[in-house]
């Protein structure tokens, strides 16, 4: 009996070890946080890592992040921040072009990370786009799910990428967007729009998903040119060290009741 | 007579005078206790406001003095430690890892490049970089370069839009009148085959074995060769198996070394010179010992070294990356018809007009299956021994 149990345990462990990191058992319509929390159970260096993301919004739109159960003052796009894997971050998008006075509350769930060279984590963030079209869809009562994935280089699209637009595929009727993303690359984050709006009393902790901690990144200041022209033969430039000092990540604390 | 206080006595008196102080310090230490788990002091709202105000004042002070923009830090509750995560890779997997975040170019991956019957290069895949040249004896050799890896992840998205639609539908019975009748089917088949006994015309015979497999024996580099036609047999200092039969015995090593030292003493300056077929032979093993193997080297060792480097290790879409390929003839013969072929990967776009070459060459491009280009340099002059060249071009990361 013990031998049978041990054999069964070993078989299950080997099957789990050989399982590819895909999400065929998950559906894109699962509630926010369900996929990311199961992703953490797979092990690896995922818990506690702040994966940088860059949120793009239409020109003029403002983005607010959640802190301590409340929305912070809105900021311009793009917004660069580090997000914990498996947590759900609620945003508020206001001042939408041609939809002034309307608000959209998307959520972002980071389900995987990338491994950039040390010190260049914020140079390679996961881009998350809030397009005008999708914001208007959410305002019209539709539910938009966008799974952002890392392209497989061998199967990448040869088209020259426009840095301002992220190429995307449309999942058809009955297709699971997560499964489609799995077949095209490695899913990294899920953006959902059009689900809920806060209650009349204001957003509660459930709506804000506990306001998980966020690493905010202050945009680097423009490099300052030297006041004097450089001498022939070279001169020491001090602006480099100042610029590197400005690009330190800023820690935003978690909220506890 | 006053007693004389030595240094040690003075130290003892000094310690005795501080005894109450030591006791008070011990009591103070014992009064400290750890906070039990689950009863961590939670800052009140007032504390948080004061904490926020203090942090703001510190940030403003730093901003004023140093002139550096500082984000005001709000630290509420228990902080989660921020750890610097070094590049992690699963054990046992060689870098770069993970491969889907890197652009690779160069080398000869998967199917090995080879020469077809018409002289064309086959098996050249995307990302491959090879050099093709002819040797003096008419062979065509392919030499791949090393592989260059750029960190350049690119993202895309899959979108799904769902919505609730109100739909009005009337249900009604659908009736179809479909008369069914039995069909009569009749088929008559004619006999088309007939079985006829055939008498065998020949006999079954067993063929004689006409081919036999011949096994070739391998030839040993050092074989047992008993020495014959030597007058007087072996001398005492020749009593080694390696001398007599050419087989080295480990047990004879200690005694042999003595003889080796003696031989080196005598043969250091005037060593045996070996000449094979009128040419100076090359000593291929060791330097100072009594035995040596000589080989005649004919200059037929073509060798081309190809090194590919990139200007950066990381790149974002839209960045320009410079590639340089250095090649050198390290062989012992001149090589002809040197061709350099670089099959660019899908996400690398060649910048028109950026190709340079240090040697005279005909540059051409051809579109590949990855919607990128195959770059080709046909060098007109042969590459002599010790000569090399440099090729440089720019690519834009897609």
Q: Which of A53, A77, A58 shows the shortest CA–CA distance to A189? A: A53
Kindly determine whether residue B151 and residue A124, on different chains, have CB atoms separated by under 8 Å: yes
Antiparallel, parallel or unpaired: β A50-56 and A126-129 = parallel
Kindly determine whether residue B159 and residue A153, on different chains, have CB atoms separated by under 8 Å: no
A113 token code pair: 């990370």
Which residue among A142, A148, A252 sits closest to B155, beta carbon to beta carbon?
A: A148
CB A144 within 8 A of CB A137: yes
pLDDT digits (tens, 9 = 90+) for A97-149: 999 889 999 999 999 999 998 888 888 999 999 999 999 999 998 999 999 99
pLDDT at residue A89, as a whole number: 95
Question: Which chain B residues contact residue A147 at CB under 8 A?
Answer: 157-159
Question: Which chain A residues contact residue B343 at CB under 8 A?
Answer: none
Options 1.10.3470, 2.60.40, 1.10.10, 2.30.30; which CATH number does B102-152+301-397 get?
2.60.40
Cα dihedral across residues A173, A178, A184, A187: positive or negative? positive
**Min Cα separation A69/chain B (Å):** 12
A117 token code pair: 């060279």
Question: Which chain B residues contact residue A188 at CB under 8 A?
Answer: 155
Q: Which of B308, B341, B304, B339 shows the shortest CA–CA distance to B143? A: B304
Which residue among B69, B86, B161 sits closest to A118, beta carbon to beta carbon?
A: B86
Kindly determine whether residue A149 and residue B155, on different chains, have CB atoms separated by under 8 Å: yes
Taking CA–CA distances from B98, the nearest residue in chain A reads A115
Place of tokens 């007032």: B46
Whole-prediction pTM value? 0.61
Which residue among A171, A251, A255 sits closest to B82, beta carbon to beta carbon?
A: A251
Which residue among A117, A124, A145 sits closest to B160, beta carbon to beta carbon?
A: A145
**Cis amide linkage into residue B98, ω under 30° from 0:** yes
pLDDT at residue B351, as a whole number: 93
Question: Which chain B residues contact residue A169 at CB under 8 A?
Answer: 156-159
Which residue among B85, B151, B160 sits closest to A49, beta carbon to beta carbon?
A: B85
pLDDT at residue B273, as a whole number: 52
How much is the mean pLDDT over chain A?
A: 78
Taking CA–CA distances from A44, the nearest residue in chain B reads B90
Least confident of A82-91, A183-192, B163-172, B362-371: B163-172
Q: What angle do CA B39, B45, B51 make, to 5 degrees?
A: 95
Q: Within 10 A of A112 (CB to CB), how many other CB atoms are there?
A: 23
Q: Which residue has better confidence, A220 or A87?
A: A87
* Pairs of CB atoms within 8 A across A/B: 192
pLDDT at residue A31, as a whole number: 79
From first to last of the 398 residues of chain B, give the pLDDT tens digit: 444 455 555 555 555 666 666 666 665 554 444 434 434 344 454 554 454 454 455 445 444 444 444 444 333 444 444 444 456 677 777 767 888 899 888 888 888 888 888 888 888 888 899 999 988 888 888 989 888 888 999 999 999 988 876 666 667 767 777 777 777 777 777 877 777 777 766 665 555 555 545 444 454 445 454 555 455 666 666 677 766 666 667 787 777 666 555 444 444 444 445 555 555 555 555 555 556 666 666 667 888 888 888 888 899 888 899 998 888 888 888 898 999 999 998 889 999 999 988 899 999 999 988 888 999 999 999 999 888 888 889 999 88
Residue A90 zone, left/alpha/beta (φ > 0; ψ -120 to 50; rest) = beta
Among A42, A44, A138, A161, most B C-beta atoms within 10 A, so best to mutate, is A161
How would residue A61 be classed by pLDDT, with cut points 50, 70 and 90? very high
Question: Which chain A residues contact residue B345 at CB under 8 A?
Answer: 153
**Cis amide linkage into residue B304, ω under 30° from 0:** no
Question: Which chain A residues contact residue B100 at CB under 8 A?
Answer: 150-153, 185-186
Q: How many Å apart are CA B384 and CA B331, to the nearest integer?
A: 9
Q: What share of chain B is helix, strand, coil (3-state, %, to 5)?
A: 20, 25, 55
CB-side exposure of B135: number of CA atoms within 13 Å?
16
Which residue among A144, A153, A170 sits closest to B103, beta carbon to beta carbon?
A: A153
Burial class of B80 by CB neighbour count within 10 A (0 to 12, 13 to 18, 19+): middle
Q: Within 10 A of A203 (CB to CB), how many other CB atoms are there?
A: 19
Q: Which of B343, B328, B333 shows the shortest CA–CA distance to B147? A: B343
Question: Which chain A residues contact residue B106 at CB under 8 A?
Answer: none
Q: How far is CA B172 from CA A39, B166, B168, B169, B178, in A?
A: 49, 19, 13, 10, 19
Taking CA–CA distances from B162, the nearest residue in chain A reads A143
- What are the backbone angles phi and psi of residue B360, rounded to the nearest 5°? -65, 125
Residue A248 has pLDDT above 50, yes or no: no
Kindly determine whether residue A256 and residue B372, on different chains, have CB atoms separated by under 8 Å: no
How would residue A85 be classed by pLDDT, with cut points 50, 70 and 90? very high
Taking CA–CA distances from A43, the nearest residue in chain B reads B90
pLDDT digits (tens, 9 = 90+) for A9-40: 444 444 444 455 676 566 666 778 888 888 88
Which residue among B88, B157, B371 sits closest to A168, beta carbon to beta carbon?
A: B157
Question: Which chain A residues contact residue B89 at CB under 8 A?
Answer: 115
Q: Which residue has better confidence, A45 or B60?
A: A45
Q: DSSP labels for B348-393?
A: EEEPTT--EESS-EEEEEEE-TTSSEEEEEEE-S-B-TT-EEEEEE
Q: How many Å apart are CA B380 and CA B227, to the nearest integer?
A: 57
């Amino acid at each position: 009996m013990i031998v049978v149990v041990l054999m069964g345990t070993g078989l299950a462990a080997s099957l789990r070890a050989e399982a590819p990191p895909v999400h065929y058992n998950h559906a894109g319509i699962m509630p926010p946080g369900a996929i990311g929390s199961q992703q953490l159970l797979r092990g690896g260096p995922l818990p506690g890592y702040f994966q940088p993301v860059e949120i793009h919004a239409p020109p003029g739109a403002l983005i607010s992040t959640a802190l301590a159960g409340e929305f912070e003052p809105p900021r311009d796009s793009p917004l660069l921040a580090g997000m914990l894997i498996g947590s759900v971050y609620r945003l508020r998008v206001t001042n939408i072009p041609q939809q002034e006075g309307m608000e959209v509350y998307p959520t972002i769930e980071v389900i995987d990370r990338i491994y950039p060279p040390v010190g260049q984590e914020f140079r390679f963030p996961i881009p998350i786009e809030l397009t005008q079209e999708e914001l208007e869809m959410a305002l019209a009562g539709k539910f938009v799910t966008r799974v952002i994935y890392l392209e497989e280089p061998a199967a990448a699209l040869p088209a020259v990428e426009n840095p301002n637009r992220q190429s995307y595929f449309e999942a058809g009727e009955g297709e699971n967007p997560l499964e489609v993303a799995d077949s095209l690359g490695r899913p990294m984050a899920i953006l959902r729009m059009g689900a809920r709006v806060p209650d009349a009393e204001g957003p509660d902790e459930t709506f804000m998903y506990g306001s998980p901690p966020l690493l905010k990144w202050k945009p680097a200041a423009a490099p300052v040119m030297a006041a004097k022209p450089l001498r022939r033969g070279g001169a020491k430039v001090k602006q480099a060290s100042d610029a590197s000092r400005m690009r330190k990540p800023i820690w935003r604390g978690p909220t506890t009741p | 007579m006053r007693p004389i206080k030595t240094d040690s006595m003075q130290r003892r008196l000094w310690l005795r005078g501080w005894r109450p102080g030591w006791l008070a310090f011990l009591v103070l230490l014992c009064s400290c206790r750890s906070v039990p788990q689950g009863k961590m002091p939670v800052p009140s709202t007032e504390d948080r406001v004061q904490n926020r105000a203090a942090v703001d004042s510190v940030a403003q002070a730093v901003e004023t003095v140093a002139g550096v923009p500082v984000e005001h830090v709000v630290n509420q509750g228990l902080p989660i430690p921020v750890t610097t995560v070094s590049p992690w890779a699963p054990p046992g997997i060689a870098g770069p890892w993970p491969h889907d975040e890197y652009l690779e170019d160069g080398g000869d991956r998967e199917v090995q490049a080879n020469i077809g019957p018409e002289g064309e290069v086959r098996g050249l895949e995307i990302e491959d970089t090879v050099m093709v040249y002819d040797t003096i004896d008419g062979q065509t050799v392919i030499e791949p370069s090393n592989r260059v890896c750029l960190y350049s992840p690119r993202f895309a998205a899959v979108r799904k839009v769902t919505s609730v639609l109100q739909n009005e539908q009337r249900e009604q019975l659908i009736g179809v009148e479909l008369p069914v009748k039995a069909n009569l089917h009749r088929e008559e088949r004619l006999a088309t085959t007939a079985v006829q006994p055939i008498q065998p015309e020949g006999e079954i015979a067993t063929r004689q074995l006409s081919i036999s497999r011949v096994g070739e024996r391998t030839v040993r580099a050092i074989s047992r060769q008993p020495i014959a036609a030597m007058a007087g047999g072996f001398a005492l200092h020749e009593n080694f198996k390696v001398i007599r039969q050419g087989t080295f015995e480990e047990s004879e090593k200690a005694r042999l070394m003595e003889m080796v030292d003696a031989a080196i003493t005598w043969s250091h300056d005037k060593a045996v010179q070996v000449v094979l077929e009128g040419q100076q032979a090359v000593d291929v093993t060791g330097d100072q010992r009594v035995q040596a193997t000589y080989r005649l080297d004919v200059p037929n060792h073509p060798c081309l070294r190809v090194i590919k480097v990139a200007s950066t290790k990381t790149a974002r879409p839209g960045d320009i990356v410079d590639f340089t390929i250095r090649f050198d003839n390290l062989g012992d013969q001149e090589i002809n018809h040197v061709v350099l072929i670089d099959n660019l990967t899908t996400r690398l776009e060649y910048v028109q007009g950026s190709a340079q070459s240090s040697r005279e060459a005909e540059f051409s491009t051809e579109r590949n299956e990855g919607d990128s280009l195959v770059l080709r340099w046909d060098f007109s002059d042969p590459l002599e021994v010790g000569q090399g060249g440099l090729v440089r071009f720019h690519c834009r990361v897609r």
